[in-house]
Amino acid sequence: MIRVLEGLAKADPNVMLVTADLGFGVLTRFSERFPRQFINAGVAEQNMTGLAVGMALEGKIVFTYSIGNFPTLRCLEQIRNDACYHNANVKIVCVGGGFTYGSLGISHHATEDLAILRALPDITVIAPGDSVETAAATRAVYDTPGTCYLRLGRGGESRIHAGSIDFRVGKAIRLFEGKDVAILSTGGILKVAYDARTKLEASGLGVGLFSVHTLKPIDRDLIIELARTIRLIVTLEEHTVIGGLGGAVAEIVAQLSGAKADLEMIGLRDCFSSVVGDQEYLRSVYGLTADDVVSRAGARLVS
Protein backbone atom coordinates (compact mmCIF):
# COMPACT_ATOMS: atom_id res chain seq x y z
CA MET A 1 0.00 0.00 0.00
CA ILE A 2 2.74 2.48 0.97
CA ARG A 3 4.71 1.88 -2.25
CA VAL A 4 1.61 2.66 -4.30
CA LEU A 5 0.95 5.72 -2.16
CA GLU A 6 4.49 6.92 -2.82
CA GLY A 7 3.80 6.78 -6.54
CA LEU A 8 0.58 8.72 -6.09
CA ALA A 9 2.31 11.33 -3.92
CA LYS A 10 5.06 11.80 -6.48
CA ALA A 11 2.54 12.39 -9.24
CA ASP A 12 0.14 14.49 -7.16
CA PRO A 13 1.42 17.00 -4.57
CA ASN A 14 -2.07 17.17 -3.08
CA VAL A 15 -1.69 13.65 -1.66
CA MET A 16 -1.06 13.79 2.09
CA LEU A 17 -0.32 11.03 4.61
CA VAL A 18 -1.10 11.58 8.29
CA THR A 19 -0.16 8.99 10.91
CA ALA A 20 -1.03 8.73 14.59
CA ASP A 21 2.54 8.19 15.80
CA LEU A 22 3.12 4.75 14.31
CA GLY A 23 4.28 3.01 11.17
CA PHE A 24 7.94 3.77 11.72
CA GLY A 25 9.98 1.69 9.32
CA VAL A 26 6.94 1.25 7.11
CA LEU A 27 6.42 4.98 6.64
CA THR A 28 10.03 6.15 6.95
CA ARG A 29 10.77 6.19 3.23
CA PHE A 30 7.56 8.08 2.47
CA SER A 31 8.32 10.70 5.14
CA GLU A 32 11.85 11.17 3.83
CA ARG A 33 10.83 11.38 0.17
CA PHE A 34 7.81 13.63 0.75
CA PRO A 35 8.40 15.59 3.96
CA ARG A 36 5.89 18.29 2.94
CA GLN A 37 3.22 15.65 2.34
CA PHE A 38 3.65 13.79 5.63
CA ILE A 39 2.43 14.66 9.14
CA ASN A 40 2.75 12.76 12.40
CA ALA A 41 -0.27 13.89 14.42
CA GLY A 42 0.82 12.02 17.54
CA VAL A 43 -1.30 9.63 19.59
CA ALA A 44 -4.41 11.70 18.92
CA GLU A 45 -6.60 9.98 16.36
CA GLN A 46 -9.53 12.38 16.74
CA ASN A 47 -7.19 15.30 16.05
CA MET A 48 -5.65 13.39 13.15
CA THR A 49 -9.07 13.00 11.54
CA GLY A 50 -10.06 16.62 12.11
CA LEU A 51 -6.75 17.77 10.66
CA ALA A 52 -7.25 15.51 7.65
CA VAL A 53 -10.73 16.90 7.02
CA GLY A 54 -9.46 20.47 7.20
CA MET A 55 -6.77 19.76 4.62
CA ALA A 56 -9.23 17.85 2.43
CA LEU A 57 -11.62 20.78 2.40
CA GLU A 58 -8.72 22.89 1.11
CA GLY A 59 -8.16 20.56 -1.84
CA LYS A 60 -5.89 17.85 -0.45
CA ILE A 61 -6.42 14.09 -0.75
CA VAL A 62 -5.57 12.88 2.74
CA PHE A 63 -4.75 9.35 3.87
CA THR A 64 -4.92 8.72 7.63
CA TYR A 65 -3.07 5.69 8.94
CA SER A 66 -3.23 3.75 12.18
CA ILE A 67 -3.82 0.32 13.74
CA GLY A 68 -7.16 -1.48 13.77
CA ASN A 69 -9.76 0.33 15.81
CA PHE A 70 -7.72 3.47 16.41
CA PRO A 71 -8.37 5.39 13.13
CA THR A 72 -11.97 4.14 13.08
CA LEU A 73 -13.85 3.52 16.32
CA ARG A 74 -11.76 5.88 18.42
CA CYS A 75 -12.63 8.81 16.17
CA LEU A 76 -16.02 7.71 14.88
CA GLU A 77 -17.66 11.06 15.65
CA GLN A 78 -15.06 12.94 13.60
CA ILE A 79 -15.45 10.49 10.71
CA ARG A 80 -19.23 10.86 10.79
CA ASN A 81 -19.68 14.58 11.45
CA ASP A 82 -16.57 16.01 9.81
CA ALA A 83 -15.50 13.67 7.01
CA CYS A 84 -18.63 11.90 5.75
CA TYR A 85 -21.09 14.71 6.32
CA HIS A 86 -18.91 17.09 4.32
CA ASN A 87 -18.00 14.45 1.72
CA ALA A 88 -14.35 15.21 2.44
CA ASN A 89 -11.58 13.50 0.50
CA VAL A 90 -10.29 11.60 3.53
CA LYS A 91 -9.05 8.04 3.03
CA ILE A 92 -9.01 6.17 6.35
CA VAL A 93 -6.45 3.34 6.34
CA CYS A 94 -6.62 0.67 9.01
CA VAL A 95 -3.69 -1.71 9.20
CA GLY A 96 -4.48 -4.77 11.28
CA GLY A 97 -8.05 -5.71 10.42
CA GLY A 98 -9.61 -8.68 12.20
CA PHE A 99 -7.24 -10.72 14.37
CA THR A 100 -4.03 -9.44 12.79
CA TYR A 101 -2.86 -8.05 16.14
CA GLY A 102 -4.43 -10.94 18.02
CA SER A 103 -1.80 -11.24 20.71
CA LEU A 104 -2.45 -7.65 21.86
CA GLY A 105 -5.98 -8.42 22.98
CA ILE A 106 -9.45 -7.11 22.33
CA SER A 107 -8.44 -3.45 22.11
CA HIS A 108 -6.53 -4.39 18.94
CA HIS A 109 -9.05 -6.87 17.51
CA ALA A 110 -10.84 -4.99 14.72
CA THR A 111 -13.99 -7.08 14.43
CA GLU A 112 -16.82 -4.52 14.23
CA ASP A 113 -15.23 -1.79 12.10
CA LEU A 114 -16.69 -2.77 8.74
CA ALA A 115 -20.24 -2.88 10.08
CA ILE A 116 -19.97 0.41 11.94
CA LEU A 117 -18.39 2.39 9.11
CA ARG A 118 -20.62 0.75 6.51
CA ALA A 119 -23.61 2.19 8.39
CA LEU A 120 -22.41 5.76 7.81
CA PRO A 121 -23.80 7.67 4.83
CA ASP A 122 -21.47 8.81 2.05
CA ILE A 123 -18.57 6.45 2.69
CA THR A 124 -16.91 3.79 0.55
CA VAL A 125 -15.77 0.69 2.45
CA ILE A 126 -13.08 -1.57 0.97
CA ALA A 127 -11.31 -4.63 2.43
CA PRO A 128 -8.92 -6.18 -0.14
CA GLY A 129 -8.13 -9.88 -0.02
CA ASP A 130 -4.41 -10.01 -0.85
CA SER A 131 -1.46 -7.82 -1.84
CA VAL A 132 -2.59 -7.55 -5.46
CA GLU A 133 -6.00 -6.28 -4.39
CA THR A 134 -4.40 -3.96 -1.83
CA ALA A 135 -2.32 -2.20 -4.48
CA ALA A 136 -5.35 -1.81 -6.72
CA ALA A 137 -7.54 -0.69 -3.82
CA THR A 138 -5.07 2.04 -2.84
CA ARG A 139 -5.29 3.50 -6.32
CA ALA A 140 -9.06 3.09 -6.30
CA VAL A 141 -9.63 5.03 -3.09
CA TYR A 142 -7.39 7.80 -4.43
CA ASP A 143 -9.62 8.00 -7.50
CA THR A 144 -12.89 7.73 -5.54
CA PRO A 145 -14.28 11.10 -4.45
CA GLY A 146 -15.26 11.55 -0.81
CA THR A 147 -14.55 9.57 2.34
CA CYS A 148 -13.22 6.03 1.98
CA TYR A 149 -12.27 3.31 4.43
CA LEU A 150 -9.46 0.94 3.41
CA ARG A 151 -9.12 -2.02 5.76
CA LEU A 152 -5.84 -3.93 5.48
CA GLY A 153 -4.08 -6.79 7.20
CA ARG A 154 -0.53 -6.36 8.38
CA GLY A 155 1.31 -7.39 5.25
CA GLY A 156 2.53 -10.89 4.54
CA GLU A 157 -0.90 -12.25 3.65
CA SER A 158 -0.85 -14.99 1.02
CA ARG A 159 -1.05 -13.77 -2.55
CA ILE A 160 -4.04 -15.37 -4.26
CA HIS A 161 -4.12 -13.60 -7.63
CA ALA A 162 -1.39 -14.82 -9.96
CA GLY A 163 -1.64 -11.93 -12.40
CA SER A 164 -3.33 -8.59 -12.88
CA ILE A 165 -6.94 -8.14 -11.80
CA ASP A 166 -9.91 -6.09 -12.88
CA PHE A 167 -10.45 -4.12 -9.68
CA ARG A 168 -13.55 -1.95 -9.68
CA VAL A 169 -15.13 -0.36 -6.65
CA GLY A 170 -18.44 -2.07 -5.98
CA LYS A 171 -17.73 -5.11 -8.16
CA ALA A 172 -16.54 -8.37 -6.64
CA ILE A 173 -13.74 -10.35 -8.28
CA ARG A 174 -14.79 -13.70 -9.71
CA LEU A 175 -12.00 -16.19 -9.05
CA PHE A 176 -13.97 -19.38 -9.76
CA GLU A 177 -17.51 -20.23 -10.85
CA GLY A 178 -19.53 -23.13 -9.46
CA LYS A 179 -23.04 -24.55 -9.77
CA ASP A 180 -23.55 -25.70 -6.15
CA VAL A 181 -21.84 -23.39 -3.66
CA ALA A 182 -20.58 -19.82 -3.82
CA ILE A 183 -18.05 -18.69 -1.21
CA LEU A 184 -17.98 -14.92 -0.75
CA SER A 185 -14.99 -13.59 1.18
CA THR A 186 -13.96 -10.13 2.27
CA GLY A 187 -10.58 -8.96 3.53
CA GLY A 188 -7.42 -10.85 4.37
CA ILE A 189 -9.16 -14.17 5.01
CA LEU A 190 -9.35 -14.84 1.27
CA LYS A 191 -6.68 -17.59 1.49
CA VAL A 192 -8.89 -19.52 3.92
CA ALA A 193 -11.78 -19.23 1.47
CA TYR A 194 -9.51 -20.40 -1.34
CA ASP A 195 -8.41 -23.46 0.62
CA ALA A 196 -11.98 -24.27 1.62
CA ARG A 197 -13.05 -24.11 -2.00
CA THR A 198 -10.29 -26.54 -2.98
CA LYS A 199 -11.46 -29.03 -0.36
CA LEU A 200 -15.12 -28.74 -1.30
CA GLU A 201 -14.31 -29.18 -4.98
CA ALA A 202 -12.42 -32.38 -4.11
CA SER A 203 -15.65 -33.75 -2.64
CA GLY A 204 -17.39 -33.41 -5.99
CA LEU A 205 -19.15 -30.08 -5.55
CA GLY A 206 -19.05 -27.19 -7.98
CA VAL A 207 -17.79 -24.29 -5.87
CA GLY A 208 -17.43 -20.65 -6.88
CA LEU A 209 -15.15 -18.20 -5.10
CA PHE A 210 -15.65 -14.45 -5.07
CA SER A 211 -13.58 -11.74 -3.41
CA VAL A 212 -16.06 -9.13 -2.20
CA HIS A 213 -13.47 -6.43 -1.59
CA THR A 214 -16.05 -3.63 -1.51
CA LEU A 215 -18.69 -3.80 1.20
CA LYS A 216 -20.12 -0.42 0.35
CA PRO A 217 -21.28 -0.16 -2.36
CA ILE A 218 -21.62 -3.95 -2.43
CA ASP A 219 -21.98 -5.96 -5.64
CA ARG A 220 -25.75 -6.35 -5.44
CA ASP A 221 -26.05 -7.74 -8.97
CA LEU A 222 -23.66 -10.60 -8.20
CA ILE A 223 -25.46 -11.53 -5.00
CA ILE A 224 -28.85 -11.60 -6.73
CA GLU A 225 -27.40 -13.69 -9.56
CA LEU A 226 -25.94 -16.22 -7.15
CA ALA A 227 -29.08 -16.36 -5.05
CA ARG A 228 -31.05 -17.26 -8.18
CA THR A 229 -28.67 -19.84 -9.64
CA ILE A 230 -26.86 -21.84 -6.95
CA ARG A 231 -27.82 -23.88 -3.89
CA LEU A 232 -25.81 -22.26 -1.11
CA ILE A 233 -24.07 -18.94 -0.52
CA VAL A 234 -21.35 -18.99 2.15
CA THR A 235 -19.98 -15.68 3.46
CA LEU A 236 -16.63 -15.63 5.23
CA GLU A 237 -15.15 -12.72 7.16
CA GLU A 238 -12.73 -12.05 10.01
CA HIS A 239 -15.35 -9.78 11.52
CA THR A 240 -18.77 -10.01 13.07
CA VAL A 241 -21.50 -11.26 10.73
CA ILE A 242 -23.80 -8.60 12.21
CA GLY A 243 -23.61 -5.78 9.70
CA GLY A 244 -20.52 -7.16 8.02
CA LEU A 245 -20.36 -9.16 4.79
CA GLY A 246 -22.83 -11.73 6.09
CA GLY A 247 -25.27 -9.08 7.17
CA ALA A 248 -24.90 -7.15 3.91
CA VAL A 249 -25.59 -10.25 1.81
CA ALA A 250 -28.51 -11.23 4.04
CA GLU A 251 -30.09 -7.81 3.55
CA ILE A 252 -30.19 -8.40 -0.20
CA VAL A 253 -31.17 -12.08 -0.20
CA ALA A 254 -33.96 -11.53 2.33
CA GLN A 255 -35.67 -9.05 0.01
CA LEU A 256 -35.80 -11.45 -2.93
CA SER A 257 -39.07 -13.22 -3.63
CA GLY A 258 -39.40 -16.79 -4.84
CA ALA A 259 -36.84 -19.60 -4.76
CA LYS A 260 -33.35 -18.57 -3.69
CA ALA A 261 -30.13 -19.99 -2.32
CA ASP A 262 -29.62 -20.82 1.33
CA LEU A 263 -27.19 -18.58 3.19
CA GLU A 264 -24.50 -19.64 5.67
CA MET A 265 -22.72 -16.73 7.40
CA ILE A 266 -19.29 -17.55 8.85
CA GLY A 267 -17.69 -14.98 11.12
CA LEU A 268 -17.92 -13.83 14.69
CA ARG A 269 -21.33 -14.07 16.28
CA ASP A 270 -22.60 -11.63 18.89
CA CYS A 271 -19.49 -11.77 21.08
CA PHE A 272 -16.21 -10.07 21.86
CA SER A 273 -13.07 -11.88 20.74
CA SER A 274 -11.77 -11.99 24.30
CA VAL A 275 -9.27 -14.81 23.69
CA VAL A 276 -5.65 -13.75 23.12
CA GLY A 277 -3.35 -15.40 20.61
CA ASP A 278 -1.95 -15.10 17.12
CA GLN A 279 -4.19 -14.75 14.09
CA GLU A 280 -4.21 -18.40 13.08
CA TYR A 281 -4.99 -19.52 16.63
CA LEU A 282 -7.88 -17.08 16.94
CA ARG A 283 -9.29 -18.19 13.60
CA SER A 284 -9.36 -21.74 14.93
CA VAL A 285 -10.98 -20.64 18.21
CA TYR A 286 -13.77 -18.78 16.45
CA GLY A 287 -14.44 -21.26 13.66
CA LEU A 288 -12.82 -19.41 10.78
CA THR A 289 -10.58 -22.11 9.29
CA ALA A 290 -10.92 -23.82 5.93
CA ASP A 291 -12.10 -27.00 7.66
CA ASP A 292 -14.78 -25.00 9.48
CA VAL A 293 -16.02 -23.61 6.18
CA VAL A 294 -16.11 -27.08 4.63
CA SER A 295 -17.95 -28.54 7.63
CA ARG A 296 -20.59 -25.85 7.80
CA ALA A 297 -21.17 -25.76 4.06
CA GLY A 298 -21.51 -29.54 3.95
CA ALA A 299 -23.96 -29.54 6.85
CA ARG A 300 -26.18 -26.97 5.15
CA LEU A 301 -26.21 -28.86 1.87
CA VAL A 302 -27.50 -32.06 3.50
CA SER A 303 -29.93 -30.41 5.93
Would you say residue 144 has pLDDT above 90?
yes
3-state SS, the chain, equals CHHHHHHHHHHCCCEEEEECCCCCCCCHHHHHHCHHHEEECCCCHHHHHHHHHHHHHCCCEEEEEEECCCCCCCCHHHHHHHHHCCCCCEEEEEECCECCCHHHCHHHCECCHHHHHHCCCCEEEECCCCHHHHHHHHHHHHHCCCEEEEEECCCCCCCCCCCCCCCECCECEEEECCCCEEEEECHHHHHHHHHHHHHHHHCCCCEEEEECCEEECCCHHHHHHHHHHCCEEEEEEEEECCCCHHHHHHHHHHCCCCCCCEEEEEEECCCCCCCCCCHHHHHHHCCCCHHHHHHHHHHHHHC
| Span between the terminal Cα atoms of the chain, in Å | 43
What dotted CATH number matches 2-152?
3.40.50.970
Confidence tier at 155 by pLDDT (50, 70, 90): confident
**Whole-prediction pTM:** 0.97
Would you say residue 59 has pLDDT above 80?
yes
Confidence tier at 303 by pLDDT (50, 70, 90): confident
Would you say residue 156 has pLDDT above 90?
no
- pLDDT, tens only, 165-196: 999 999 999 999 999 999 999 999 999 999 99
Looking at residue 266, what is its pLDDT?
98
Looking at residue 61, what is its pLDDT?
98
- Whether 2-152 shares its CATH topology with 173-302 is answered yes
Mean pLDDT (the chain) is 96
For residues 157 and 188, is the Cβ–Cβ distance under 8 A?
yes
Q: How many whole angstroms separate alpha carbon 66 and alpha carbon 220?
A: 30
What dotted CATH number matches 173-302?
3.40.50.920
- Specify the range with the lowest mean pLDDT, choosing from 21-35, 46-60, 185-199: 21-35
Would you say residue 126 has pLDDT above 90?
yes
Residue positions annotated with a catalytic role: 45
Would you say residue 115 has pLDDT above 80?
yes
Would you say residue 23 has pLDDT above 80?
no
For residues 238 and 267, is the Cβ–Cβ distance under 8 A?
yes
Looking at residue 208, what is its pLDDT?
98
Q: Where exactly are the structural domains of the chain?
A: 2-152, 173-302
- pLDDT, tens only, 227-272: 999 999 999 999 999 999 999 999 999 999 999 999 999 999 999 9
How confident is the model over 191-203, as a mean pLDDT?
A: 98
Cβ burial of 167 (10 Å; 0-12, 13-18, 19+) is buried
